[in-house]
Amino acid sequence: MKLALLSDIHANIQAFDACLSHAHAQGAQQFALLGDLVGYGANPLEVLDRVQTLAAGGALIIKGNHDEMAVTPPAEVAHVGSSTAAWTHAQLSPGQHSFLDHLPLTLQQGAVLLVHASVNDPERWRYVTDVRSASASLDAAADRPEVRYVFGGHVHHQTLYYRGAGAGLMPFKPTPGVAVPVPRHRHWLATVGSVGQPRDGNPQAMYALFDADKAQLTFLRVSYDHYAAAAAIRRAGLPAYFADRLEAGQ
Amino acid sequence: MKLLQPNAQLDGFTIEECIHSGGMAHIYRVRYTEGAHDPGFALAMKIPRMTAGDGAETIVSFEVEHQIMQVLSGPHVPRFVAAGDLENVPYLVMEYVPGRTLAHWLETPERPDAAEIARLGAAVAQAAHSLHQQNTVHLDLKPANVLIRSDGSAVLLDFGLSCNALYPDLLAEQLRKAVGSPAWIAPEQVVGVRGDPRSDIFAIGVMLYELATGELPFGAPQTPGGLRQRLWMDPPPPRKLRPDLPEWLQEIILRCLEPEAAKRYPSAAHLAFDLRHPEQVTVTALGRNTAGTGFGTHFKRWLKAAGMHYQPSPLPAQKIEEVPIIMVAIPHKDVSDATLYSLRQAVARSLGTRPGARLACVTVISTNQTNSTSDDKSETSVHRRYLTNLRQWAQPLDMPGHQTSYHVLESGDVAQALLNYATGNQVSLIVMGAATHGMKMQRFANTVPIKVAMDAPCTVILVKQALPFELLIEQAAKLKPMWNRDLDAPF
């Protein structure tokens, strides 16, 4: 069974569609959306339409911090992250608010545990950026002994953390397109990167494909029309900064 | 797991005989029980010894070898066939490669001569290079893990401690103790650095030292302190133990054994190149010395070594790509000065961006230019003349830090001779004139540059003659007086 893992779509319909069709072409049979469906981008309506169709088809969907903010936008714009929340909120229908509001923070399917940020207090949206924070997240999953894989997003980078011969967790930078063996007798934590807001200087969208039968995880990069996504942001009157960063992938 | 008897069956394979019974694994000759899927080559099955007392390391080694064997390809590794599940019976089935391990050459009482040592070493280096190009570093090269086929080529075995940069390294951990075989492992491995292709070059150096002298350069230390010695200590020069050994061979061996990886050959292809062209090796004090390294030098290095610690390495393939062997084909007739000039410019540009690159200047002469009856047409005097031309061509390049060698090839087929040379020496970039090597044949599609570009194993730069020559002279006169000297070169 091939499970496509898409996170941090950020209302970028161009990137989302490109990744979905790429995953279909790769033989993905199930989809998991790891939160931050909206925020920053210009097409929250279209993205949520797609998401709700996927949900009806059995996709696994969890909540991210931007989804929470879109339901209850902060009264004051405290930082760049929350600056589009009110705009997003205004675009969405009450039904969509309710859909986002009812998303779970974590979901488990067999050996796979999905979380937007960290398993350790998922509602606090901790960033998994190093061995220490990755260990904290993986350790918090220890009370579910059948869990071998923790997949998340939030940090917009693709990294795999693993336990080898030693006790400590090790970070690994994957090469896109290489199927990495992730045997079930070990514990793995992956941050799958961002579909709609890549920030490593490469504008290509990121997602990952987990093949449960072969126990392989493939991190992927997909080209999409990021100029169109940036143009949509400018047209919507959102801060130009969000358009610029899509063009630069930063 | 206990020893399997002949005719025992496992997962569709029938055991024929046990061919190796080591501390880590049993190796059997096997065949498919059904006989239906004949793969066209003989099979061997490796079953790791795992008993209740075995630590996680045996399991990890099995996983690592499985992971890496699945993705390696080419003539220098056994072909991968099948693997058993770790949760049931772990095993690996692979191609059985007939041949003798390098240990065979060490077991005989007589030491091989320099030419044979160079031949064996070049075969191993070529195999290691092929591995490095696939982003894999072996990290446990030793005589028992190197098989020499009857055609002289090498096959590397046992990837249980190897490292493939495209996969998580299950054996890596910060502050981890060294993994590998004490006699052969490189200094950086002692402090936990995994993934540097130059670690394999060190191990090849240890094997060359053994082949040459019958001794291990650093013994087989049993303690961490003994292992750390190689971080700062040079072994006794091989010629101290075997005075008849040529200086060039000692130069090569000791360069492989430099404690600092940066002072070793930058890639296994460079090492193979020197072993194949002993006459081109520049012998330094390293090759001549028979006294050994003094206390002062060792003490300074010892201080430096005290600070060495774990650091991750970049992708091996990327690393060796940065130190290519660049080959330039220099025509010796029907060539304009402007073309020779443009070729030199192109070579200077190609080398300039690659500090560790080495340059091979090659010219192809026809076979009927030499004969043994007339003195001035004898092979040596003809070759000497062309070698001088090549040196004169390269002289203005002035390349500190770049090794350069000169080669005259005799062949009736220029393109094929260049292609063979490039393939045989793992050349990564060919620079040649776009319109030379067959100027008279321009109207036919199959000119030498086209044929080389189509069939080359690597990138080819076809150099066009630069500016009109008169204009060039004007510019040269304005810029640098030295340029005029080039232009007067006697071609």
**B372 pLDDT above the threshold of 60:** yes
Rounded Cα distance, B255 and B261, in Å: 10
Cβ distance of A185 and B86 shorter than 8 Å? yes
Q: Are residues B291 and B414 in the same domain?
A: no
pLDDT computed for residue B488 by the predictor: 42
**B27 pLDDT above the threshold of 50:** yes
Cβ-nearest to A164 among B87, B166, B168: B168
What residues 215-244 of chain B have any CB closer than 8 A to a CB of chain A?
Answer: none
- The CATH number of the domain holding residue B64 is 3.30.200.20
Q: Search chain B and give the residue with CA nearest A168.
A: B173
Q: Are residues B42 and B140 in the same domain?
A: no
Q: Search chain A and give the residue with CA nearest B67.
A: A181
- Please give the C-alpha separations between residue A249 and each of A4, A209, A226, A232, in angstroms, as whole numbers: 22, 21, 9, 16
Is B389 within the bounds of a domain? Answer: yes
Least confident of A144-158, B277-291, B432-446: B432-446
Cβ distance of A165 and B60 shorter than 8 Å? yes
Q: Are residues B172 and B278 in the same domain?
A: yes
Cβ distance of A180 and B168 shorter than 8 Å? yes
Cβ-nearest to A165 among B57, B166, B174: B57
B103/A contact by beta carbon, under 8 A: no
pLDDT computed for residue B483 by the predictor: 43
Is A117 within the bounds of a domain? Answer: no
pLDDT computed for residue B224 by the predictor: 78
pLDDT computed for residue B471 by the predictor: 59
Smallest Cα distance from B88 to chain A, Å: 13
**B295 pLDDT above the threshold of 90:** no
pLDDT computed for residue A213 by the predictor: 93
Higher pLDDT residue, B163 or B399?
B163
Cβ distance of B173 and A166 shorter than 8 Å? yes
Is A115 within the bounds of a domain? Answer: no
- The CATH number of the domain holding residue A234 is 3.60.21.10
Cβ-nearest to B173 among A165, A175, A181: A165
Q: Are residues B91 and B230 in the same domain?
A: no
Contact residues on chain A for B88, CB-CB shorter than 8 A: none
pLDDT computed for residue B337 by the predictor: 81
Higher pLDDT residue, B362 or B292?
B362
Rounded Cα distance, B425 and A65, in Å: 57
Model confidence, pTM: 0.83
B57/A contact by beta carbon, under 8 A: yes
> What are the structure tokens assigned to B483, written together?
């340029």
Residue with tokens 């062209």: B277
DSSP A163: E
- CA neighbor of A116 nearest in space, from A104, A133, A100, A129: A104
**B233 pLDDT above the threshold of 60:** yes
How does residue B438 score in pLDDT terms, banded at 50, 70 and 90? very low
The residue segments making up the domain with residue A80 are 2-104+154-248
Q: Are residues B36 and B150 in the same domain?
A: no
Least confident of A66-75, A148-157, B253-262, B398-407: B398-407
Is A111 within the bounds of a domain? Answer: no
**A126 pLDDT above the threshold of 80:** yes
Cβ-contact A226, A188 below 8 angstroms: no
**B480 pLDDT above the threshold of 60:** no
Q: Are residues B132 and B90 in the same domain?
A: no
**B86 pLDDT above the threshold of 90:** no
How many C-beta neighbours within 10 Å does residue B435 have?
17
Rounded Cα distance, B297 and B289, in Å: 14
B35/A contact by beta carbon, under 8 A: no
The string of pLDDT tens digits covering residues B134-154 is 999 999 999 999 999 999 999
Number of structural domains in chain A: 1
- The pLDDT of B238-246, averaged and rounded, is 95
> What are the structure tokens assigned to A241, written together?
């900064």
**A171 pLDDT above the threshold of 70:** yes
Contact residues on chain B for A181, CB-CB shorter than 8 A: 67, 167
ipTM of the modeled complex: 0.85
Cβ-nearest to B170 among A160, A164, A168: A164
How does residue B486 score in pLDDT terms, banded at 50, 70 and 90? very low
The string of pLDDT tens digits covering residues B384-431 is 889 988 988 988 887 766 788 899 999 989 999 999 999 999 999 999
Cα–Cα–Cα angle for B439, B441, B443, nearest 5°?
A: 110
Q: Name A23's Cβ contacts closer than 8 Å, sequence gap at least 6.
A: A4, A6, A31, A207, A209
Report the residue of B54, B57, B63 to disrupt the A interface, i.e. the one with the largest count of A CBs within 10 Å.
B63
Contact residues on chain B for A217, CB-CB shorter than 8 A: none
pLDDT computed for residue B489 by the predictor: 41
Is B258 within the bounds of a domain? Answer: yes
% of chain B residues with pLDDT over 70 = 86
pLDDT computed for residue B177 by the predictor: 62
pLDDT computed for residue A131 by the predictor: 92
Cβ-nearest to B168 among A162, A166, A168: A162
- CA neighbor of B212 nearest in space, from B148, B174, B257: B257
How does residue B437 score in pLDDT terms, banded at 50, 70 and 90? low
- Cross-strand partners of B194: none
Which bin fits B327, alpha (ψ -120 to 50), beta or left (φ > 0)? beta
**A22 pLDDT above the threshold of 60:** yes
Cβ-contact B417, B425 below 8 angstroms: no
Cβ distance of B172 and A170 shorter than 8 Å? yes
The string of pLDDT tens digits covering residues B91-132 is 999 999 999 999 999 998 899 999 999 999 999 999 999 999
The residue segments making up the domain with residue B243 are 100-319
Cβ-contact B328, B432 below 8 angstroms: yes
**B440 pLDDT above the threshold of 60:** no
Cβ-contact A148, A111 below 8 angstroms: yes
pLDDT computed for residue B445 by the predictor: 54
Is A143 within the bounds of a domain? Answer: no
Is B440 within the bounds of a domain? Answer: yes
Is A175 within the bounds of a domain? Answer: yes
The string of pLDDT tens digits covering residues A100-109 is 999 999 999 9
Number of structural domains in chain B: 3
**B466 pLDDT above the threshold of 70:** no
Smallest Cα distance from B61 to chain A, Å: 9
pLDDT computed for residue B23 by the predictor: 73
- CA neighbor of B119 nearest in space, from B158, B91, B149, B145: B149
- The pLDDT of A111-128, averaged and rounded, is 96
How does residue B477 score in pLDDT terms, banded at 50, 70 and 90? low
- The CATH number of the domain holding residue B125 is 1.10.510.10
Is A43 within the bounds of a domain? Answer: yes
Q: Are residues B126 and B182 in the same domain?
A: yes
Rounded Cα distance, B52 and B50, in Å: 7
Q: What is the mean pLDDT of chain B?
A: 85
Is A144 within the bounds of a domain? Answer: no
Q: Are residues B355 and B314 in the same domain?
A: no
Report the residue of A131, A148, A172, A182 to disrupt the B interface, i.e. the one with the largest count of B CBs within 10 Å.
A172
pLDDT computed for residue B2 by the predictor: 72
Q: Are residues B83 and B118 in the same domain?
A: no
How many C-beta neighbours within 10 Å does residue B272 have?
26
Q: Are residues B402 and B465 in the same domain?
A: yes
Is A110 within the bounds of a domain? Answer: no
Q: Are residues B363 and B416 in the same domain?
A: yes
A interface residues, B as partner, C-beta within 8 Å? 160, 162, 164-166, 168, 170, 172, 175, 178, 180-181, 183, 185
Is B1 within the bounds of a domain? Answer: no
How does residue B469 score in pLDDT terms, banded at 50, 70 and 90? low
Cβ-contact B90, B54 below 8 angstroms: no
pLDDT computed for residue A125 by the predictor: 96
pLDDT computed for residue A164 by the predictor: 77
Is B2 within the bounds of a domain? Answer: no
Cβ distance of B174 and A168 shorter than 8 Å? yes
B54/A contact by beta carbon, under 8 A: no
**A72 pLDDT above the threshold of 80:** yes
- The pLDDT of B226-230, averaged and rounded, is 81
Q: Are residues B87 and B153 in the same domain?
A: no
**B4 pLDDT above the threshold of 90:** no
